[in-house]
A = this chain, B = another copy of it.
Amino acid sequence: MIIVMKPDSQEAQIKEISNVLESLGLGIHISKGTERTIIGVIGDKRVLSDVPIELMPGVEKLVPIVESFKLAGKTFKPEPSVIDVNGVKIGGKELVIMAGPCAVESREQIIEAAQAVKKSGAQFLRGGAYKPRTSPYAFQGLEEEGLKLLKEAKDATGLLVITEVTSEKAVEVADKYVEMFQIGARNVQNFQLLREIGRSKKPVLFKRGPSTTIDEWLNAAEYIMSEGNYNVVLCERGIRTFETATRNTLDLSAVPVVKNLSHLPIIVDPSHAAGKVQYVAPLSKAAIASGADGLIVEVHPNPRCALSDAAQQLTPENFDNLCKDISKIAEVLGREFKYDAK
């Protein structure tokens, strides 16, 4: 961290700050420029997280030099992490596709969806049992009943199951039924929930919030990891911008940026970002081309009857075509995706 002093700061002020830093065990390095004096702070800056240096007399501003997250960062672990979920590896050579309906609606629907996405090569079945909806008057999910149906679909197909959890209670219940948790965009800074997930050790797909910077997102991942759960897979799903042609603006730059800053795998959710089914396939291909480790895509056996987010769910046929294309692009990029339609 660097402390930039005001143009009119005085010797005594610099001395006072130096004393505070030294009393905390930090080293200092003073540099006098033509317009400003700056103080470089040397050592573990976490001791400063609750000391308001910025209010000391003569201080203009603080400039951070290293990122504030640790466990999620490359300094802590330079080589990429591969998260193993019951034998399926996320972040390795093979691309991982999670697919299924927005919400679990019925036994028939979820089994049909599972069979369809399995056939095209998906390794995970997704399906919401707890649905956070903008309006309290919309369908909110089947809760535990939905989890049971997901388990049935898994038993029928061998797919792994991922589902969103929205509260500590949901974590506890879902833990019995699924192989991977999902933290949704709205809960990216629900720190209570993150700590709970951190304590569970189960792999988690951690979505970026619509107004979360990449730096804040990695700091939020730190809440999970600092409780001991290192099985975190990131998921870019669009950020909120002024553009209204799509529901959110998918930030594919986040893929190479995350690869640069962190060792965690990252996949992409094109369905929620686009909000419209015709944009899902082009954005899925773009996501893979940008270097993502996989996709989470909404597929519904009959989108026109879906109870939530109907507009963004692919048909099994669209999904099958997409998987075929992904497997070819994967090859060009030196990666792999087994498209297995018979």
Contact = CB atoms under 8 A, between A and B. Distances in A.
A210 interface: yes
A34 B44 contact: yes
B244 A239 contact: no
Interface stretch (A91-99, A111-119, A279-287): A279-287
Given A43-B34, A54-B310, A242-B240, A289 B282 contact: yes
Contacts of A52: 303-306, 310-311
A282 B291 contact: yes
Interface in A276-333: 277-279, 282-283, 285-291, 303-308, 310-311, 325, 328-329, 332-333
Contacts of A44: 34
A218 B35 CA distance: 19
Interface string A223-247: 1001000000000000111111110
Contacts of A277: 55
A249 interface: yes
A216 interface: yes
A18 interface: no
Contact of A244 (B4, B244, B308): B244
Contacts of A38: 2, 40, 65
A7 B202 CA distance: 32
Contacts of A35: 65-66, 75
B239 A253 contact: no
Interface residues of A, number: 106
Please provide the 7 A-B residue pairs with the shortest distance between their CB atoms, ordered closest to farther. A52-B310, A211-B211, A289-B289, A286-B290, A29-B31, A285-B289, A286-B286
A315 to B, nearest CB: 10
A250 interface: yes
A186 interface: yes
Interface in A32-68: 32-36, 38, 40-44, 46, 49-50, 52, 54-56, 63, 65-66, 68
B250 A49 contact: no
Nearest to A307: B50
Given A50-B139, A166-B190, A168-B168, 9 more contacts: A40-B40, A49-B138, A54-B310, A68-B137, A209-B211, A243-B253, A246-B253, A286-B286, A288-B289
A213 B243 CA distance: 5
Contacts of A213: 242-245
A22 interface: no
A165 to B, nearest CB: 10
Contacts of A36: 65-66
8 contacts: A4-B65, A35-B75, A134-B189, A134-B219, A137-B222, A243-B251, A288-B289, A325-B332
A21 interface: no
A216 B248 CA distance: 14
